[in-house]
Structure 1
């Protein structure tokens, strides 16, 4: 009498089905892992560029708020020069232009040609320049500060000057070669506009900006008695990440022609307008 034997194990068809399902599931898991990794990298890039943008906007706002400040009664003010004349210089020229200073005629606000980066220069009474330097003054002294902001390569930098040195009133002390201090890297574009009041002929001392213009318009407007009472800045920052963005969107900063970065990276635009309270108060107090 014969006994039937049961077949043990899997058939070839079953093995093939199992392997196929395993490959499908493994592929799906790999795609999920890759997607999660890309999402994490993208989130890190967004956080990075947001942090950079918040930092530079806050830093520039804090620096520029004091533009045009000159307190002739301040006990901390160094009085080695005629401070009455110096007060008039600072208050009437809160945004210096090239040619304003006899010792260095290149220092002044500039409009970048064809959408190139702008150069911003402001003057004020302060205890340090934008780099934190005292420029030879005592620890408790304030002086005529001129700060310059510009882009070198992809770095937004600042350089500080003693306004009295620029005016030829004294020799430079402690300027440290006027070396620049980097505020932020990965800056793709830096643009500036200036809010100006009406001309003197308008008999308007409300100190309200009637329009925003570029630096190349300031000389003619200043000659007519208009004054800068606000500064608008825009920066385009690249994220510190290798995340590829395709296609890269275009960006329009202030009145410039829209630009499209040539790198497939994450970029973000930041803008702010700073009201120059010290200049506005000066405009309101003067007789027109």
Structure 2
């Protein structure tokens, strides 16, 4: 209605009905729930990605580190000008090449030191020897910076940490007095290692006339003593381990893993776990076997 040039408000204008309000509120709640669900999903995905990235980074690191450490197992070069020669080099050369993988009772000054096959799927212990510049911790053990000596390295798991400890093989054999950091506290190589298993690839024994240096079988540490008696040599080391990723990822069901010759292993928690495995060919031992007289 127009009166005196002005438009009066309509008497029929209305607000929202209660039905419209309820529909609007319901739609708002649905949208809010969807946003919350998306945020929660993004957080779960982020935690999973972080756990996956950390486990992959840890796995790559430890495999590369162990391969680098173990590759020189059994190495001994009497002609190396940097080799410290204060002991009988010919005797030491024979000992190192015939004991590339150390087992208990190899050393008079530490009869318990050696590679061990754990029972009931427990973590194995690996001990190897070689001519080197430093032990696995980076210690010189009293030798000069440019000197090489008989290095013995031990790898084991303690409190879910893969650790290493280094020794002077000459001290272990009773040929000299310990110096520097020989046999001191172990260094942690990697945290969150839940399982550590080792197998040893052995060559054919001396009586077979097989001097190829190829591994014909993989055995556990408790079988190495008998293989030595037969004239076999360790020419490869196979390692498998399970690493737990960082973060709060929750995995259900928990995956199980088959590590080498061991029974199926199921981790105790619901984190993200990954298994890594590698085989290290001991080229120095292969060459030693190939040069063996038949």
Regarding TM over 0.5, the answer is yes
1:283 and 2:286 correspond:
no
Q: Structure 2 matches for 1:214-233, cutoff 5 A?
A: 214-233=220-239
Unmatched tracts of structure 1, length 5 or more? none
Q: Distance in 2 between matches of 1:136 and 1:262?
A: 43
What residue is the counterpart of 1:64 in the other structure? 70
1:132 and 2:138 correspond:
yes
SS at match of 1:114: coil
RMSD after superposition: 1.4
Off by >3 Å, runs of 4+ in structure 1 = none
- Judged with a 3 Å threshold, the aligned counterparts in structure 2 of structure 1 residues 4 and 153 are, in CA distance, closer, same or farther, namely closer
What is the deviation of 1:238?
0.6
Q: Distance in 2 between matches of 1:13 and 1:69?
A: 86
What is the deviation of 1:177?
5.0
CA radius of gyration, larger in: 2
SS at match of 1:20: helix
SS at match of 1:178: coil
Deviations 1:31-66 (A, max 9, x none): 111111111111111000000000000000000000
Deviations 1:71-114 (A, max 9, x none): 10000000000011100000111001100000000111100111
Equivalent of 1:189, from 187, 191, 195? 195
What residue is the counterpart of 2:6 in the other structure? none
- Equivalent pair of 2:165/2:183 in contact (CA under 8 Å): no
Q: Distance in 2 between matches of 1:143 and 1:4?
A: 104
Larger deviation, residues 161-170 vs 28-37: 28-37
What residue is the counterpart of 2:119 in the other structure? 113
So what's the TM-score if we normalise by structure 1?
Answer: 0.98
Q: Distance in 2 between matches of 1:31 and 1:146?
A: 55
Q: Distance in 1 between matches of 2:251 and 2:160?
A: 19
So what's the TM-score if we normalise by structure 2?
Answer: 0.96
Q: Distance in 2 between matches of 1:34 and 1:125?
A: 55
What residue is the counterpart of 1:35 in the other structure? 41
What is the deviation of 1:9?
2.2
Unmatched tracts of structure 2, length 5 or more? 2-8
How many residues are matched? 288
Larger deviation, residues 199-208 vs 153-162: 199-208
1:141 and 2:147 correspond:
yes
What residue is the counterpart of 2:241 in the other structure? 235
